[in-house]
Amino acid sequence: MSKSEANVVVFACNWDGLSSVEAVAQAGLSYPASVKVVRVSCLSRLHQGLILKAFELGADGVMLLGCEPGKCQFDTDPALITQECEKARKLMRLLGLKEERLVLTHVPRGDGSHFVGRVTSFIAEIGQMRSAVPGGA
Amino acid sequence: MTRGVAVIGSSAGAAQAALTLAELGVEVKLITPSAALSLVDITEGAAVTSSEELLGIWPLFLRAASHPLVTLYTNSEVMAIEGKQGRFTIRATKYPRYVREDLCTGCGRCEEACSVQVPLLFDGRRVSHSAIHAPVLGAKTVPSAYYIEKKGVAPCRAACPLGINVQGFVSLLSKGKVDEALRLINEAAPLAGVLGRICTHPCEDNCKRGEVDSPVFIHALHRYAADNAPGGINYKRKAAAGYRREKIAIIGSGPAGLTAAWELARRGYSPTIFESHAVVGGMLATGIPRFRLPWEVRYREVEAIKALGVDIKTGVTVGRDVTISDLRERRYRAFFLAIGAHRSNKLNIPGEDLEGVVDGMSLLFALNMKVGAFVGSNIVVIGGGNSAVDSARAANRRSKGQVRIIYRRTAEEMTAVREEVEDAIREGISIEYLTAPVEILGDGNKVAGIRCQRMVMGEMEADGRRRAEPIPGIEFVIDADHVVVAIGQQPNTSLLNMRWLDVDSDNDTIKVDTLTLETGIPGIFAGGDCITGSNNVVDAVAAGLRAAESIDRYLRGRDLRRGRSREKPQVVEVDIRERDVSYYKRARMHAIPISRRMGNFEETNLGLPGEVVEREAGRCINCALCSECMECERVCELNAVFHKDSVCQVGIPAEIVIDFTTDDNGTNSYIRRREIAQSAPLQFTRPGIYKVDTGEGELTRASAIALKAAIELKSRELPRPKETDIAGVPDVYLEQTREEAEPASLGETRVGVVLCRCGGSISSVIDCNQVTNEVLQLPGVCNVLEISQACNEEGASMIVAQAAEWDLDKVVLAACRCCGLEQICFSCTDRRVMCQQNLSRGLPLGYDRNIEFVNIREQCAWVHQDDPVGATRKAIGIISSGVARARGSLAAASEERPVAEGVLVLGAGLCGLAAARNLADQGYSVEVISGPESDSATEQHSLEYVRRRDTLLKELEEQGILVRQWPQVLDLDGSPGSYEVVVKYQSQTSRSGAGAVILDIGQLTGEMPAGDGVIPRENLLGRILAHRRCSDAPNGGDTAALKSSAMKETAGIFIISTDAEDLPEEQVLKGAAVAARASAYIGQGVVSPRANAVTINSKLCRGCGDCAAICPYIEMKERGGGIACAYVDQALCLGCGACIAHCPTGAITQATQSNQQIIATLEALLGRAPIMVEVS
């Protein structure tokens, strides 16, 4: 099963992001085991280098999972991660990686089904990209 | 000894009050009527809620409930508060949870195994949940321990003379668990195959489902379990039974004798049964026709009982072949007379001795045992009991003619099982009711007919049946060539040849003590039909059980009567309307067609077909909710299920009581019930008892009242505890120094991995062997330990022992906890906190920072249950990432610094003044500086505001605290724990120390030009305020308090904002609440940075200032030569790590999530060989 599923790295912020990942278990839902969750204190901790590293190490997709605007536990400016994300996309274009392979997602706190919905549709999109361009993903 | 404070309630406010008190060093008893702390009202058992709001206060709940000074009493209803202020005793009823809070991890395996579904109407939808479930469905609670909804004894179970857990086995069958069902039946009684066929099933007569449509087909299900359990009958000795040598003789191998033998054998005895017939089974063999009870069924049961160690001697008539005295001489020490009732009653009318008149028992014996028997062609059976109907049906199968039953009463009074009567009629047997024989007619030799009398039903008799009275003058004759008299039997006690046996002179039954079944002769017991006259099988089996208990007690020299009664257990009250009943009709049992029944004795009823069994069992409405099928107990590897839990009364001492309960739904508000409540936010109901309104602003009120209570206690000379007192570090580790716990240098790091099975909930998905094998291959890993539970004390001690034995520098714990930080995030659980606390207690000081936690439960096993292979691979990846991080981790910041006791309050609004007042009351030195407010601003305040302000000012003045005017310069130097406040008025400059700073910005902002001037931007306070203005997040009051329960407060700067809308009263409360937080902060005595605080390497910093631009806590300092360098005080750092991402030179790093650690994590998760992480 997991062989065919896309390898997705989810960088989850420790607060609302992780809470939605954990809520999946609470709600009795599931998602493919090819989804790898990396906990960070806040999405603002990430920079383009780390995002691209995930691709370099074989991730088919990277999802940045953070809290909705105004919910940040650290009151960090949400623009910080949006800018990093844009920078990373720019480099991805240069490297010939489809920029759709990187998504920035804001989830409601503790909403497991929301996360499952997002991550499964993301996997499906990546799957389509892979089949559309052989070896492209 | 302190009695502490009792906080009653389960709301956020109750948790806040408890936490505030505990942080102020006060012992707290948190008493809630609910099974857990939660935002939603869960007193009704279960509810479903959205998680957003709950998660916001989740860290507060968790921190409060897991604080070492807080004792949580769940399921505890306050009945009375006795005593007076300072010496209260709270009398509470603690209802059973049936699950041990200290062990249950909420893994939910029990829920899956539970055979009961309790229907629930939620939002107009029909949902259902199992009888064992989480305190709130779909939401996190603390404690997370499950609980069982149990409501006493179901009517079916109570009605069963054998105490068979009827609801239990029915519910098991509804889940297709046939073996388990039979095992549960056989825990109470043997002979399931027999009882499932011929029991008179009082359970069904009491089945509540009967009030909806028709009772559950219980006896058919009983039979199904007996006939279809794949494991077959498997009687076992009771676990605790030893081998007992005492010899026991049981006279008679009928159901009573067999059962007594079975039960005694289970208790370790080897009884001997003496049976006068050649076949074993008594009435089961001779009296019950084979078409109702096939021989194979009886044979199977008898063999299983023999296999338990019961010796059966057939063809021995006790009293003739061997006497009781003989047996006594052969050292038999106890006797059970279970000789049944085989002598048929006589009609005592003329003609009874004519040829062709037989009694039912003889006929059944002859037909059943294939002994040649005469069967007429015009048969009349007299009687209305089971033996009459059996005789008629048996004769009918052998007769070419007609069979009739005559009965003196009506169908209603017939004692025969209704289904059997219906079958008899279907088979062509006619029943003449209200017909009593007067004389049997014949030619002097052979029977020819019966002269009958027509009867009519008269008055009620003493036994509850109506009397049948003859109608004078109506007599008639029925032709018959064969008359069967089946009007009951009596025992034949004379055969026993026992002189001293006390026997009823009327009907020859043996007289016994009905409780113990002991006859007048010690050691000799009797039961079954021989004490009652002909009766049903289930009562005989019950007598066997009762006799076995008595004999066991007798042989052990115990009191025969103590603790026993003949009373039925209390039956649960069930309101059918509350239950969501699924409308399925009662199943029908298949039977062979009537035509094929004649001429043979093949079993008539074929039992329930397998495909309808689950649905028929599912018709049960589970009257008692939990069916006690014990499946939860069986699957719980942690032994957390505890069905024997019971209601208990607790007395909880307290000096002060704070009550948060509401009585909107008539729930537990003891105080409200008794005292008339005012609508003020804080109510003081009688000295020492505070009533706090829940709802908006609850957290503020809670903190304020908690502080008030703490001050009150302190005034009674309560010493202020230090943080170390609270942590409760065992003495044995105190001698260990910090150096010993320091990690070894790179390359030699010895890593041990602990793999938690979580009571099977992890190991049932993840292949632990494979994980162990692969993880052992990882560099640096010297040992992998698999344990069943990491979060209890036993687990912690195993981990501690492993660390010591293998001399480990680092331990990777793969369980459910996912970080080693002190913060409590929305994902955290009580088990994770408990895990950390147990480890901290057990490990040498500081060693717990050497544990790397990885979550393989909620983040792996529990969400990939359908993909065990993928889950196992992923778990290996997750653990590898933990190992990589552990090997490369830096020493986390851990430096402790003292906290000064002074407090600076900026802003002299009601909030600030109230805060100052509360802090001063605790003896802290307080400095208050008023905001730069104009005179015109004062005009806007209400009279009430002014009155309160003036009072506070006066009170402060009395304590020697003067409010100073806003200075020309206000600077904050120093660092968290010991700030230095520099205040300049014209030429005068004063400096004072402060451990904490409170900013009443409601007082400040309005008058301050944004961003500049009054508090210099370069100043820490100025930077914080500027950052606040940029972020639109609400940050005052409750939000700030909630955030500080999530992330430990380290900076000691408290910002409180008030709204112009706030009532003066509310502002005062807010001030008290923030004072509570400041007191708790200072009260720790020391403060240390968060483990995830960043460090800035000044050698690498090029002074660009990008980090300082995004973080108010970083400042640019000059390091000489005009070169700027970023600097951060670690105690200020919140740990978000944004600065690291924006540092162009890599000067900033974080011990818990360095770039290298994140990359190592990615490598491990994505299956790249983990590289050695460089320590920078």
CATH number at residue A81: 3.40.50
Structure tokens at B852: 């790397």
- Binary contact (B1166, A19; C-beta < 8 A): no
Kindly state the DSSP code that residue B1169 receives in the 8-state scheme. Answer: P
Cβ–Cβ contact B863 with A under 8 A: yes
d(CA B29, CA B744): 43
Helix (H, G, I), strand (E, B) or coil at B156: helix
Cβ within 8 Å of residue B244, ≥6 positions away: B267, B268, B269, B270, B555
Q: Does any CB of chain A come closer than 8 Å to the CB of residue B1046?
A: yes
pLDDT digits (tens, 9 = 90+) for B154-199: 999 999 999 999 999 999 999 999 999 999 999 999 999 999 999 9
Residues of A in contact with B874 (CB under 8 A): 2, 33, 36
Find chain B residues with C-beta within 8 A of A77's C-beta.
Answer: 1030-1031, 1110
Nearest CA in chain B to A13: B1136
Taking the CA of residue B937 and the nearest CA in chain A, the distance in Å comes to 31
In chain B, which among 1137-1166 make CB contacts under 8 A with chain A? 1137-1138, 1140-1142, 1150, 1152-1153, 1155, 1158-1159, 1161-1163, 1165-1166
d(CA B512, CA B507): 14
Specify whether the CB–CB gap between B277 and B287 falls below 8 A: no
- How would you classify the pairing of strands A35-40 and B70-73? unpaired
Give B155-234+573-624's CATH code, choosing from 1.10.10, 2.40.128, 1.10.1060, 1.10.3470.
Answer: 1.10.1060
CA distance B649 to B92: 6
DSSP B560: S
- For residue B864, give the nearest of A30, A71, A108 by CB distance: A30
The backbone torsions φ and ψ at residue B709, rounded to the nearest 5 degrees and listed phi first, read: -65, -40
Cα separation, B116 vs B625, in Å, equals 7
Q: CB within 8 A of A128, min separation 6: which ones? A: none
Q: Cα(B263)–Cα(B256) distance, rounded to whole angstroms?
A: 11
* HSE (side-chain half, CA atoms, 13 Å) at A25: 25
**B1137–A44 CB contact, under 8 Å:** yes
Smallest Cβ–Cβ distance between A110 and the set B52, B1134, B1163 belongs to B52
Q: In CATH, which superfamily holds the domain spanning B247-342+491-555?
A: FAD/NAD(P)-binding domain (3.50.50.60)
Residue B55 has φ and ψ, to the nearest 5°, of -65, -30
User: Which residues of chain A make contact with B825, given a CB cutoff of 8 A?
Assistant: 14-15, 18-19
Q: Test B138 with A27 for CB contact under 8 angstroms.
A: yes
Give CA–CA dist B752/B874, Å, rounded: 19
What is the identity of the amino acid at B682?
L
Picking from A21, A33, A42, the nearest residue to B874 by CB comes out as A33
Is residue A25 domain-resident? yes
Provide the residue range defining the domain that includes A14: 8-132
Contact flag A19-B827 (C-beta cutoff 8 Å): yes
Residues β-bridged to residue B475: B453
* Helical segments of B526-622, H only: 529-532, 537-555, 594-597, 610-618
Nearest to B886 by CA among B753, B1067, B712: B753
Check if CATH label 1.10.150.120 holds for domain B5-94+647-724.
no
CA pair distance B534, B539, nearest whole angstrom: 10
How close B1140 gets to chain A, by Cα (Å)?
7
**A96: distance to nearest CA of chain B, Å?**
21
- Looking at B694-778, which runs of residues are DSSP E strands? 751-756
**Which is nearest to B768 in space by CA: B856, B854, B855, B881?**
B856
- Extract the runs of DSSP E, i.e. beta strands, from B802-945: 810-815, 851-855, 897-898, 903-906, 926-929
Domain B346-487 falls in which CATH fold?
FAD/NAD(P)-binding domain (3.50.50)
CA distance B147 to B332: 49
Shortest CA gap A103–chain B (Å): 17
Instruction: Compute CA distances B172 → B176, B178, B624, whole Å.
Output: 6, 7, 14
Å between A7 CA and nearest CA of chain B? 8
Residues in chain A closer than 8 A to B1135 (CB atoms): 41
pLDDT of residue B235: 92
Q: From the CA of B1168, how many Å to the nearest CA of chain A?
A: 7
Of B858, B874, B1162, the CB nearest to A22: B858
User: Whose CA is closest to A25, among B172, B864, B960, B1001?
Assistant: B864
- For chain B, give every domain's residue range: 5-94+647-724, 96-150+625-645, 155-234+573-624, 247-342+491-555, 346-487, 733-888, 897-1087, 1094-1150
Interface contact A22-B859, CB threshold 8 A = yes
Whether B346-487 and B96-150+625-645 are alike in CATH topology: the answer is no
CA distance A84 to chain B (A): 9
| Contact: B873, A70; criterion CB under 8 Å | no
Q: Which chain B residue has its CA at the smallest distance from A73's CA? A: B1043
Q: Is residue A3 part of a domain?
A: no
Q: Return the number of CB contacts < 8 Å for A and B.
A: 168
**Tokens describing residue B585:** 């009709």
Count of the separate structural domains present in chain A: 1
Task: Give B529-550 as a DSSP string.
Answer: HHHHSS--HHHHHHHHHHHHHH
**Ranges of residues in chain B whose predicted pLDDT is under 50:** 1, 41-49, 664-684, 718-746, 934-936, 1006-1013, 1033, 1035, 1170-1176
Residue range B1094-1150 in CATH 3.90.1170.50? no
B-contacting residues in A 68-127 (Cβ below 8 Å): 70-77, 80, 84, 108-111
CA-to-CA dists, residue B201 to B198, B210, B536, angstroms: 8, 14, 10
Q: Is residue A93 part of a domain?
A: yes
Nearest to B1141 among A38, A47, A59 (CB): A47
Rounded Cα distance, B173 and B619, in Å? 11
Domain assignment of residue A36, yes or no:
yes
- Using the beta-carbon criterion (under 8 Å), do B866 and A16 form an inter-chain contact? no
Which chain A residue's Cα is nearest to B112?
A28
Please give, rounded to a whole number of angstroms, the shortest distance from the CA of B700 to a CA of chain A: 20
User: What residues of A are in contact with residue B1035 (Cβ under 8 Å)?
Assistant: 75
Q: Which residues of B touch A9 (CB under 8 A)?
A: 1162, 1165-1166
Identify which has the larger pLDDT, B999 or A51: A51
Give the bridge partners for A63, in sequence order.
A10, A103
For the cut 90, the answer to whether the pLDDT of residue A102 exceeds it is yes
- Identify all chain B residues contacting A79, using CB atoms and an 8 Å cutoff: none
Burial of B493 (0-12, 13-18, 19+ CB in 10 A): buried
Q: Closest Cα of chain B to A83: distance in Å?
A: 11
Residue identified by tokens 């039946």 is B185
CATH architecture, domain B96-150+625-645: 2-Layer Sandwich (3.30)
Q: What is the pLDDT of residue B481?
A: 93
pLDDT at residue B1006, rounded to an integer:
47
Close Cβ partners of B708 (under 8 Å, ≥ 6 residues apart): B690, B1072
- Residues B1166, A59: C-beta atoms closer than 8 Å: yes
Task: Answer whether A109's CB lies under 8 Å from B51's CB.
Answer: yes
CA distance to B138, B246, B756, B854, B872, per residue, from B866 (Å): 20, 56, 20, 21, 12
- Identify whether the C-beta of residue B906 lies closer than 8 Å to the C-beta of residue B887: no
CA of B867 vs chain A CAs: smallest distance (Å): 7
Which of the following CATH numbers is that of domain B897-1087: 3.40.50.2300, 3.50.50.60, 3.30.70.260, 1.20.1050.10?
Answer: 3.50.50.60
Euclidean distance between CA atoms B1160 and B1166, whole angstroms: 10
Q: Say if B1136 is an interface residue toward chain A (CB within 8 Å).
A: yes
Residues of A in contact with B1140 (CB under 8 A): 45, 47
Mean pLDDT, chain B, rounded, equals: 86
Say how far apart CA B519 and CA B512 lie, in whole Å. Answer: 4
Residue B930 is predicted with a pLDDT of: 83
Which residues of chain B neighbour A33 with C-beta distances below 8 Å?
860, 864, 867, 870-871, 873-874
Please indicate, yes or no, if residue A46 is contained in any of the structural domains: yes
Residue A121 located in a structural domain:
yes
Q: Is B619 on the interface with A (CB under 8 A)?
A: no
Chain B 44-63, residues with CB within 8 Å of chain A CB atoms: 51-52, 54-56
User: In sequence order, what DSSP letters do the residues of B470-518 get, joined into one string?
Assistant: EEEEEEEEEE-SEEEE-S-EE--GGGG--TT--B-TTT-PBP--TTT-B
Interface of B with A in 1085-1124 (CB under 8 A): 1092, 1110
Percentages of chain A per state (helix, strand, coil), in multiples of 5: 45, 20, 35
Q: What is the CATH T-level fold of the domain B733-888, as seen in this structure?
A: Rossmann fold (3.40.50)
Asked if B1169 is an interface residue toward chain A (Cβ–Cβ < 8 A), one would say: no
Written as one letter, the residue type at B1025 is L
